[in-house]
Amino acid sequence: MKQSLHECTLADLESFSPKQAPLLSHMIFRENALNEHPNLSSKLVQKLKEDFQLTLPEISQVHESSDGTYKFMVRFSDQLEVEAVLIPFHRRYTICLSTQVGCAMNCQFCYTGLQGLKRNLTAAEVVGQYLVVSNWWKDKNTEALMPNIVFMGQGEPLHNAEAVKRAIEVFTNPHGINLGQRQITLSTAGYLPGIKKLTDFVPINIALSLHSPFEDQRTELIPINKSYPLSEILPPLLELGKKKKKFLTLEYLLIKDFNMSDLHVERLSELFSGERVFFNLIPFNPFPEARFERPDPVEIDLFKEKLVSKNLRVMVRTTKGDDILAACGQLHLEKLRRTKNANG
């Protein structure tokens, strides 16, 4: 199969022709076409058409939620599918992208973790996923701005670090999709070999799925914490934040009677007081076979206030798309379940 132009960075396009790279970027990423143009050499267009392809993945399903969230199943040429979610957030939409089909991390609160890893996505597939969803959105809303990106869908992005790094370089090409570094957030479960590679990435926002400050309890939720404990992953992540002058976002699932005690507040304060971190509290989004429960709003407020009283920066994320199972991996499993039921 021919290589995709969707994984070409600006530097790659400049290697074909420094002068024509900006126009090529516009055509590939804004128009998804390579046409004759008075400012492009016909020979170069011909050569690129012979050597590369511009095929995008397909959207196989769209589910709309009552809160304005859309969830998509995106199908690649080998018929495997991932999910992408378009979420209304502040003034523009954000697309939650997948980076792998399935996931090897086996987090206990996540449906995708139950499926295991099928394969990595290529950089072109990550970019293609963004383009089909944002094109779909632009067809509905001609005035829509290019959506921001969070890498929080299926897969551990740093377990597929090379492809994700390349895709981020494509997203930030100023002549193509033209997202700013602050418009992209990568969330990791704490895969240390990938964390070590972050120093070579364009400096985007980084989020860590923390969920507990205690090693044993975190391992219970995120099994890779056994191989890569907090004691090893926090120093490089906090150091990176200092170096790049960025806040590290700490994603913290709020689970009833599990990780919201005063002991948790004390330990979080010991670990993070004075650090450039920001807590994103996420009330657990229950799914059919989940062994955890969502806390009630009073418990959520109390936990938040206790963290604030320790001078930690905190916000509570309102869960979008509950009615279409928008938490990572859930739509896919629902579909599998329905298929299984249909087959008896």
Q: Which residues are catalytic?
A: 83, 328
**Identity of the residue, 12 or 334, whose beta carbon is nearer to ligand SF4 in the bound complex:** 334
Stretch that binds ligand SF4, among 67-75, 149-157, 199-207, 316-324 (CB under 6 A): 149-157
Min separation Cβ 155 and ligand SF4, Å = 6
**Identity of the residue, 29 or 279, whose beta carbon is nearer to ligand SF4 in the bound complex:** 279
112 belongs to the binding site for ligand SF4 (CB under 6 A) = yes
| Candidate list 198, 248, 328, 331; residue touching ligand SF4; CB under 6 A | 328
* DSSP letters spanning 79-116: S-EEEEEEEEETTEEEEEPP-EEE-SS--TT-HHHHH-
Strands 52-53 and 205-209, bridge-based pairing: unpaired
110 belongs to the binding site for ligand SF4 (CB under 6 A) = yes
* Nearest to 177, CA basis, from 185, 168, 190, 186: 168
| Residue 278 near residue 247 (C-beta atoms within 8 A) | yes
Stretch that binds ligand SF4, among 101-109, 254-262, 270-278, 330-338 (CB under 6 A): 101-109
| Candidate list 57, 128, 155, 176; residue touching ligand SF4; CB under 6 A | 155
**Identity of the residue, 97 or 307, whose beta carbon is nearer to ligand SF4 in the bound complex:** 97
CA distance 165 to 203: 10
* Nearest to 324, CA basis, from 61, 115, 12, 97: 61
Min separation Cβ 81 and ligand SF4, Å = 15
Stretch that binds ligand SF4, among 73-81, 150-158, 289-297, 313-321 (CB under 6 A): 150-158
CA distance 164 to 143: 28
**Identity of the residue, 13 or 327, whose beta carbon is nearer to ligand SF4 in the bound complex:** 327
CA distance 14 to 129: 24
CA distance 163 to 171: 12
Residues that bind ligand SF4 (CB under 6 A): 103, 105-107, 110, 112-113, 154-156, 189, 328-329
